Amino acid sequence: MRRRRYYHLMIVAGLLLGAVTQASSVLVAPHHIFIDHRVRSATIQLFNAGDQTEEVSIETVFGYPATDSLGRVYLYTEPAESEAELEERSAAGWIRAFPRRVTVRPGQRQTIRLLAQPPADLADGEYWTRVVVHAKGQHLPLAVSDGADIEVGLDLEVRTVIALTYRKGDVETGVRMSEVAPRIVGDTLYARPLLERDGEAAYIGMLRTEVVDSSGEVVREWEEQVAVYESLHRQLRYPVTDLPQGPYTVRMTVSTDRDDIEPPELLVATPVSDSATVIR
């Protein structure tokens, strides 16, 4: 059933992209792969929606979203052959893609199989890696006009990185939230909640921020996808232009209410909320 949905999805996106551009283009789905220890395999679907043949390679790297000292989100990654491979959480060293290199012609669909070969003594728990899909296409013409000029041009290539979660046994997730200290500067609301994973599995959820006035009415709200593998201390900025002056309560709620990941792959946890007062 899911395969059929992927197919429909790829057709829709392919028609869209095919109409969008006469260039190289590879659709990668899904954006998050889950592998159960009892199955030990999964697939990635590729679809070449462009008009050029694509050379695609697949590799795995250990990584997860993290935040830097300024609260900016980035994808922390380490090559599989580095010491990170030895980290307890990494599945990068024992997830294999077949084929690892493939040529995908325009309009062609390609299935990549991911096979897990974990250590025999793998403990129950959740293991992570990122799957990197590297597509090469749209090469520059190599001809030089008359051989006397200096011509310069650069090819553009693409690496699409998707998450892979491997689970063995029953795992639970949760999150702790602290340091909700909102402030309004000018027309911007700033908040930087500290989210820390609580449980052996990564917390995949949504962060809802609500501004509540003195009558209890929610006057502004925003939502963010969050993925807490270790911790996130993200700087959030929201516009509050036209918000009347006065005191407000900023309420932040983290929940596992995600519509892009299906149960049972999506682990459900009790929502966590915190709030603080801010003056506009």
Partner 1 sequence: MLGLTLATANTLAAQNAATIQAVATVASGPITVTPLRDLQFGQVMPGTPSTVLPTAPAAGQYVALGIPSAQASVNFTLPSTLDAGPVTMPIAFSPTSARVGWFNNPNFFVQVFDPSVGTAFRFSPAFFGSAMYVWIGGQVSPAVSQVAGFYSGTVVLTLAYTGS
Query: What residues numbered 13-42 form the site for partner 1, per CB under 8 A?
Result: 13, 15-17, 19-32
163 within 8 A of 31, measured Cβ to Cβ: yes
Among 59, 92, 130, 166, binds partner 1 (CB under 8 A): 130
Q: Which of 115, 156, 218, 279 binds partner 1 (CB under 8 A)?
A: 156
Question: What SS3 state is found at 13?
Answer: helix
Binder among 112, 163, 189, 252 for partner 1 (CB under 8 A): 163
Cα–Cα distance for residue pair 159/228, rounded to 1 Å: 23
- Which one, of 66, 55, 2, lies nearest residue 29 by Cα? 2
Is position 65 an interface residue for partner 1 (rule: CB under 8 A)? yes
Residue whose CB is less far from partner 1, 155 or 242: 155
In the complex with partner 1, the residue whose CB is nearer, 25 or 90, is: 25
CB 122 within 8 A of CB 91: no
Please state the closest distance from residue 280 (CB atom) to partner 1, in A: 24
Judged by beta carbon, residue 195 or residue 278, the one nearer partner 1 is: 195
From the list 60, 90, 129, 138, which residue makes contact with partner 1 (rule: CB under 8 A)? 138
Q: From CA 120, how far away is CA 253, in angstroms rounded?
A: 40
Considering the rule CB under 8 A, would residue 107 count as an interface residue with partner 1? no
Pairing of strands 54-67, 125-136: antiparallel
Start-to-end C-alpha separation, the chain: 51
Quote the least distance from Cβ 135 to partner 1, whole Å: 8
Reading the block at residue 258, the tokens are 């995600």
